[in-house]
Amino acid sequence: MKNDGSSVTSALGKLLAQQVERAGGWLPFDRYMAAALYAPGLGYYANASRKFGALPASGSDFVTAPEMSPLFGQALAAQVQEALDATGTREVWEFGAGSGALAQQLLDALGKRVGRYTIVELSASLRERQQQALAGWGARVRWVSELPERIDGVVVGNEVLDAMPVKLLARVGGTWNERGVALRTPGQDAAAPGQPPSLFQWEDRPTELRPPVEVAGAHDYLTEIHPQAEAFIRTLADRLQTGAAFFLDYGFPEAEYYHPQRSAGTVMCHRAHLADPDPLDAPGEKDITAHVNFTGIAVAAQDAGLPTLGYTSQGRFLINCGLVERMEQASLGERTAAQRLVAEHEMGELFKVIAFHKGAFWDALGFRAGDRTHTL
């Protein structure tokens, strides 16, 4: 999809404005984010724009690890193989498969050891793209849009939890509010020169909701809570009968997430490989994300009967899974790209891996050195 740059006239803008009106003039941010990303045909993940890719020239907005280097999937495959063996299962389930790059890498590496590869995909346009990319695998790969009652196998999700809608909480003048979206009052917040004004503005309403840990101090503070990601993990805990689940994403344990100095929250938008902090501008034309509170995810899983197998940085996890040995066999270009997956100032430290197990615990490959479960 080519962006026309006009958020005012976009069909999604109109749909969101109707939703705000129908909700009585104020929409909680999680409902705004859900529609901006997933409204059928219009939301960022539901429309036909390219989204994933290495460079802006491709028309893409951001790069993810499997797009950056196939060594990502090859290293993860070593962990998936071990998990299939440890849990006695033969199926892989991937949530939110993007362009299909990770599925290709895992299937190439694991071959016949995967009996069936199921992709759970919300977006019809991404599903189509994945079907083209994975056509060569025939009936071994299938797609579902909802979770079945029972899953046995190894689940993977790369940058899926950060794409789940969050609620915004704002402490202003010592009072906690839920931050939501209202229609813009004409004449207020003039747009940047040459830009159409946004249809929307922020509006805070007092709330009983609180961050999961007290935020020290009395200063103004904006943050997020993640009820949808936690509900997603509870559902997974319920449906996974035998197996394990691995989620890779950017975020922190809650003590870091709700640190008094992190006072502007983590919501961020991505378009043409640039980040901006304004989700009210140009909905549908850019990705909206929030960092993951890994403690919240681990607690939700644990309470629902899905204990943690391990938690560590992406860099440590991939090195444990043999990334360095794979890099030694690769070309200089491939090594440079793969280095970004583990370098501390790139994806190696901000990105984490959390895993869960249904069935007996085992000392999983990716967490054998440098496990940080105790920090959750």
The residue among 134, 95, 92 whose CA lies nearest residue 110 is 92
**What is the rounded CA–CA span in Å between residue 289 and residue 306?**
25
Question: For ligand SAM, which stretch binds (CB under 6 A), given 17-25, 91-99, 261-269, 368-376?
Answer: 91-99
Nearer to ligand SAM, 59 or 197 (CB): 59
- Let me know: does 152 contact 242? Beta carbons within 8 Å: yes
Q: Least CB distance from residue 108 to ligand SAM, whole Å?
A: 16
- Let me know: does 314 contact 348? Beta carbons within 8 Å: yes
Which residue number has the CB closest to ligand SAM? 96
- Cα separation of the two ends of the chain: 41
Check binding of 73 to ligand SAM (CB under 6 A): no
The residue among 105, 55, 54 whose CA lies nearest residue 76 is 105
Nearer to ligand SAM, 109 or 199 (CB): 109
Check binding of 246 to ligand SAM (CB under 6 A): no
Check binding of 351 to ligand SAM (CB under 6 A): no
Question: For ligand SAM, which stretch binds (CB under 6 A), given 89-97, 185-193, 214-222, 313-321?
Answer: 89-97
Nearer to ligand SAM, 8 or 304 (CB): 304
Q: Least CB distance from residue 69 to ligand SAM, whole Å?
A: 12
If phi > 0 it is left, if psi is from -120 to 50 it is alpha, else beta; for residue 165 that is beta
Q: Which residues contact 12 (CB under 8 A, 6 or more apart)?
A: 35, 36, 39, 42, 43, 283, 284
* DSSP designation for 264: B
* DSSP designation for 50: -
Check binding of 314 to ligand SAM (CB under 6 A): no
Check binding of 160 to ligand SAM (CB under 6 A): yes
Check binding of 158 to ligand SAM (CB under 6 A): yes
**What is the rounded CA–CA span in Å between residue 242 and residue 358?**
5
Nearer to ligand SAM, 160 or 215 (CB): 160
3 state DSSP class of 362: coil
When binding is defined by CB under 6 A, the residue of 163, 222, 282, 341 that contacts ligand SAM is 163
Nearer to ligand SAM, 6 or 235 (CB): 235
Check binding of 45 to ligand SAM (CB under 6 A): yes
Sign of CA dihedral 340, 279, 60, 125: positive
The residue among 54, 92, 88 whose CA lies nearest residue 76 is 92
Q: Least CB distance from residue 135 to ligand SAM, whole Å?
A: 19
Q: Least CB distance from residue 116 to ligand SAM, whole Å?
A: 17
Write the interaction track for ligand SAM spanning residues 92-131; mark x where CB under 6 A is met and - where it is not: ---xxxx---x-----------------x-xx--x-----
- For ligand SAM, the binding residues (CB under 6 A) are 45, 52, 64, 66-67, 95-98, 102, 120, 122-123, 126, 158-160, 163-164, 232
